[in-house]
Amino acid sequence: MKKIAIEPLQQPDRIINYWKKEKLVVAFIIVFGLGFNIATVLGPIYQGKLIDALLRGYGMHTVSKLAVTFILLISAIQFMRYLKRFYIRRFANKTIATMRLMIYNNIIGKSYVDLINENTGDLMTRALSDVDLCVEGMRKFTTEIFDTGVLMASYFVSMLYYDVKITILGALFIPAAMMIAEKLKNIIYKYSIAYRSKSSVITGMTFDYIENAMLYRISGLEVQAADKYSLELDDLQNKAIKANIFENAMQPIYNVIAMLGVIIVIYWGGTKVIEGGWSVGNFSTYMIMFAALATKASKAAKLFNSVQKSQISWQRIKPYLGEYKSKDPVPNFDEDHTDLVIENLRFQYPEGKEDIISNISLSARQGEIIGVTGPIASGKTALGQALLGLSPYLGSIRIDGKELRDYSEYERSQMISYLGHSPQLLSDTIYNNITLGGDEDITAVLQDVCFEEDLGAMPDGADTLVGSSGIRLSGGQQARIGLARTL
Amino acid sequence: MKNDLVKIALAKVVRQNKGIIALLIIAVLGVVLTSLIPPQILKIIIDRNLVPKSSDGLLYLAALYLGTLLFIGVFDFLKEAILTILGQKITTRIRLEMMYKLGKIKTRYFSAHESGTVVSRFTNDVEAINTLFTSGVVGMIISSFKIIGIVVSIWLFSYKLGMVTLLFLPIIYAITRLFQIRMLKAQIINRILVGKVNNHIAESLNNVLMIKSFSKEQYMEQNFTGYLRENFQTLEKVNFYDAVFSPIIQVLRAIVISCIVLLSAGKISLLGISLGMVAASIELISNLFEPVENLGMELQNIQQAVSGVGRVNEFYREPEDEEKNEKLTAAQIIPDRSAICIRFDRVSFQYENNLDILKDINITLDPQENVAFVGRTGVGKSTLFKLILGLLQPQQGVITLNGIDVCSIPNREKRKIYGYVDQSFHLIKGTVAEQISLQDESIGREQIEAALQYVGMLGYVESLEKGLDTEVSGDTFFSQGQKQLLAIARAIVTDPPLLLLDEITANLDSITEERIVSVMQKASQAHTILSISHRLSSVISSDKVVILENCRVKNAGSPEVLMQNDDWYRSHITLEKLTWK
């Protein structure tokens, strides 16, 4: 299989751009979509011809010729349908990948301050099920422009050709069914929003219970947690039922409404056959087309809802779609010389209100090692955080005479190395956790942090997987991997 | 059945909703039977009115046709509504059972599985299962009833035509089955990849400080793109099958219709049926293919659901902790706070990679003894604590608390026995008070205040805007040292007789540490304290020191004795004194 590139998109917050991006695929969809749906009317027409052939008592030869033509025709039509379906699905899959990439790029490109306020469960819901729902709506919309729009138009035109009066009166109820569906859409919309946001809450809770499963267990609170979960699930269930019931159950009702005209079709159509205006085959063709039209109309509600749901999801992911960002990896600082001057530094945590640090001044020269100590909650960690430059600070931190906040994020990351209380390991191999994508030799650095002995005991060596947050390693091992990475 | 969560949930919901189920059966029968009627009316119209060109009763038949459609619509509506409700109830049940399972699953499950992946089992997989009820399997069952009805109807027209129809059924079945198998394989892979994508997002957020401070956004994004690409490629495989199924069915339908027409054509008509019957048969055949084709439309959803079912059941079959002895209570195990005896009897433990962590450990810890465990990192000290807590189960040997196997102690009693302070403090969602109580409603406000007072945090907490009820907003709300104190408060709030302290002084400044240690010492009359420490200086206050090395107990004894006879201990003490001077 050809390797498919998943590439960024410009102006990802405009939904139309996702179609524009896949020009070739969309072109195929249009060609095959039009071809299939216009040709589809030939199916019922030929079916009617077959019945007429029987009625008129044609010979075996003629009937079999007709039958073979019928099969070939249907095969050709269905082949176009296959191509249309295939390309629409490809479009959807590519769009899912593109959207997720753009969302991820946006998340990861956000500032540290913005990110610590994000809710993990909520983001996961957005990047996964919201993207799925949104793209499903886009897919259905694309499909139905042809399968509903074009198809209904071709049926309607063919039916007009058969009989103008019957068609106009018989099809009168079809728009009525669609209008009711359109009205109900707003109620469904309201319930869907409530359901989606509750769903996010549940995901967040689930994440909390799994992440802290050990804590709940040794405290004997796992049953209580499950009970609380149960209450929330009941609420979710009610919201889900409300959101889904109108959508799933109303279609048969729409179908009945759209089919109300069938009494006109049968009576007048039948009379027309009796009076010799139509053949029985014509009647049969017309009935099939009428029923198909009504069915399509009743499914239009599903289309509205799907598009609407897709809009809800689109609104939820849109804030996370921005221009593709990448860091400019051009360091613009003096690597051989560093001095640090802090003056009147004031700092608070992004989510806090009080200053953790106020009025600190110090200067450091090249080669100095400075230890910071003090009682707990006196701002030691905060000082480290301030010096990382990821959060805003007041006062001045100058490195080589330039304000820290004026350096680019990339430059700061190249100048400053940080190892926090938690080593922040990824669920990857030891090697990848240290190099983070580089291809350096890590033997020396592992020696520096006294890890060779530990490594020797692991059958997979540096390719050992560390587990979620490094859970398969001991606390000390995690810390040393973190240190090795920092070095 | 016992291991099939979806079936269990289904059975429970069915039992609890017998009335609704009865209504569902009526609705389903109604749909199946009434939908056989319109082709029959059509047959009558053709044979009585159209072919002989008579308009007798045409209007009446047209009205009857519409009336039947009305009934079909009502039954169908009922059916769909009930299925939606039942589907949601089953979904809820499955999630809840999974949550109960989560409380019993073996501890090592959490080290082998990323949180994000587990979450996606609770969310995405269960949601996928729900589609079984809204559009999938139940629909299939109803369809198969419909198929039977249709075959019977055709058979009544002509048994020959009925046999022709029956001949095609195995072909349709074979094609459907083939597609199903092919798609299932790709779908299973796809579900796993979705889990990876999920986890990568969670992990990126959890490690944002690291990613930002190392400027590794691009690396993380590359990995993410890798997962997306794999995901795309498996979906592309599904695509072909999904796209081609329904067209094939349509072609098959055309072939069947042609066959019927050919068989009834000419003067030597093999079937000997009227034109009305031919038209009705064509209609019925179309109805026969409709459910099959719908199935094709939903094939992808059904496949996703089936692989979802597989993954949920797989989770449900994960081994559980040993059955606890639910009758045991903390008061029975420890009738006297001052008499706690912990024994390790030939205990060996290894994680799943078959690497020994602890081997043949024999220790007896006497009542009211304060014991410190020391040794290199990775030597198994924290594992030893988890064994004492009964979180992990040794492969060999047994750990007893006053003669009772710790693994048999029910979790609900654990907080009354153990106070465990972990190396890292996990914030939960909630207020400051809830950080201490962990939302345990049996813990009163005075208890929480007393615990905070004990660790010297009460003043600080009360100075917060809403005091104990302040919502903890993020990971930097408390400093590392404060978190450590909260962890201690959380452990002692129930006043357990046995304290397990894993590196509690690692994040504390020496003044606070001293205060904590002295408070702990004061409390040690009422507690038995086991601690893990890297800094030997804080070990001095222990009655006994256990040195671990190479999976075994290297030496054990009072600090004074070890100072005399253990070289390792002596040299480390000396070294530490040098660094701190």
* CB-based contact A270 B219, cutoff 8 Å: no
pLDDT in tens, A181-223: 888 888 888 888 898 889 888 988 888 888 888 888 888 888 8
For chain B, the residue count is 581
* CB-based contact B242 A381, cutoff 8 Å: no
Q: How far is CA B492 from the centre of its chain?
A: 31
* CB-based contact A274 B258, cutoff 8 Å: no
For B274-306, b/e burial (b = at least 16 CB within 10 A) is bbbbbbbbbbbbbbbbbbbbbbbebbbbbbbbb
**Same domain membership, residue B68 and residue B186:** yes
pLDDT band at A1 (very low <50, low <70, confident <90, very high): very low
Q: Does B517 fall in a domain?
A: yes
* CB-based contact A416 B213, cutoff 8 Å: yes
Q: Does B323 fall in a domain?
A: no
Q: Are the C-beta atoms of residues B98 and B5 closer than 8 Å to each other?
A: yes
Question: Does residue A113 sit at the B interface (CB-CB below 8 Å)?
Answer: no
**Same domain membership, residue B474 and residue B383:** yes
> Looking at CA atoms only, how far is residue A358 from chain B in angstroms?
16
Q: Residues of A with CB below 8 A from B376's CB?
A: 476
Q: Residues of A with CB below 8 A from B498's CB?
A: none
Question: Does residue A202 sit at the B interface (CB-CB below 8 Å)?
Answer: yes
Structure confidence at residue B423 (pLDDT) = 74
- Which helix (H) or strand (E) segment is B374 a member of? strand B371-374
CA distance B85 to B130: 11
**Same domain membership, residue B195 and residue B78:** yes
Q: Are the C-beta atoms of residues B260 and B279 closer than 8 Å to each other?
A: no
Which chain B residues in 455-474 lie under 8 Å from chain A, judged by CB atoms?
460, 473-474
Per the structure block, which two tokens stand in for B98? 């999974």
**Same domain membership, residue B400 and residue B296:** no
Question: Does residue A147 sit at the B interface (CB-CB below 8 Å)?
Answer: no
Tell me: pLDDT of A79 over 90: yes
Structure confidence at residue B442 (pLDDT) = 84
Question: Does residue B580 sit at the A interface (CB-CB below 8 Å)?
Answer: no
CA distances from B67 to A261, A262, A291, B81 (A): 12, 10, 15, 21
**Same domain membership, residue B263 and residue B214:** yes
DSSP three-state, residue B353? coil
Which chain B residues in 5-44 lie under 8 Å from chain A, judged by CB atoms?
42
Which of B263, B284, B316 is the endpoint of a domain? B316
**Same domain membership, residue B164 and residue B124:** yes
Q: Residues of B with CB below 8 A from A124's CB?
A: 116, 119-120, 123, 198, 201-202
- Residue B99 has its nearest CB partner, among A74, A226, A283, at A226
ipTM: 0.79
By CB atoms closer than 10 A (0-12, 13-18, 19+), residue B145 is middle
Q: Does B329 fall in a domain?
A: no
Question: Does residue B550 sit at the A interface (CB-CB below 8 Å)?
Answer: no
Q: Does B321 fall in a domain?
A: no
Q: Residues of A with CB below 8 A from B123's CB?
A: 124-125, 129, 199, 202-203, 206
**Same domain membership, residue B355 and residue B304:** no
**Same domain membership, residue B312 and residue B344:** no
* Domain at B425, CATH number: 3.40.50.300
Q: Residues of A with CB below 8 A from B55's CB?
A: 270-271, 274
Which residue ranges form the domains of chain A, and what is each CATH number? 16-320 (1.20.1560.10), 340-415 (3.40.50.300), 430-486 (no CATH)
Best residue of B34, B54, B69, B175 to probe chain A, by most A CBs closer than 10 Å: B69
**Same domain membership, residue B426 and residue B541:** yes
* Domain at B202, CATH number: 1.20.1560.10
Domain range for B527 is 339-579
Q: Does B156 fall in a domain?
A: yes
**Same domain membership, residue B545 and residue B458:** yes
**Same domain membership, residue B397 and residue B251:** no
Q: Residues of B with CB below 8 A from A259's CB?
A: 66, 69
What phi and psi values does residue B555 have, to the nearest 5 degrees? Answer: -160, 150
- Mean pLDDT, chain A, integer: 84
pLDDT in tens, B227-248: 888 888 888 888 888 888 889 9
Tell me: pLDDT of A38 over 90: yes
Q: How many domains does chain B divide into?
A: 2
* CB-based contact A476 B378, cutoff 8 Å: yes
Q: Does B535 fall in a domain?
A: yes
Structure confidence at residue B147 (pLDDT) = 85
pLDDT in tens, A387-445: 877 777 888 888 887 888 788 777 777 777 777 777 778 778 888 888 887 777 888 88
Q: Is B418 left (phi over 0), alpha (psi -120 to 50) or beta?
A: beta
Question: Does residue A282 sit at the B interface (CB-CB below 8 Å)?
Answer: no
Spans in chain B with pLDDT lower than 50: 1, 581
Question: Does residue B127 sit at the A interface (CB-CB below 8 Å)?
Answer: yes
- Least Cα distance to B209 among B220, B225, B194, B199 occurs for B220
pLDDT band at A88 (very low <50, low <70, confident <90, very high): very high
What phi and psi values does residue B397 have, to the nearest 5 degrees? Answer: 80, 180
Structure confidence at residue B523 (pLDDT) = 66
By CB atoms closer than 10 A (0-12, 13-18, 19+), residue A164 is exposed
**Same domain membership, residue B448 and residue B304:** no
Q: Does B330 fall in a domain?
A: no
Q: Does B326 fall in a domain?
A: no
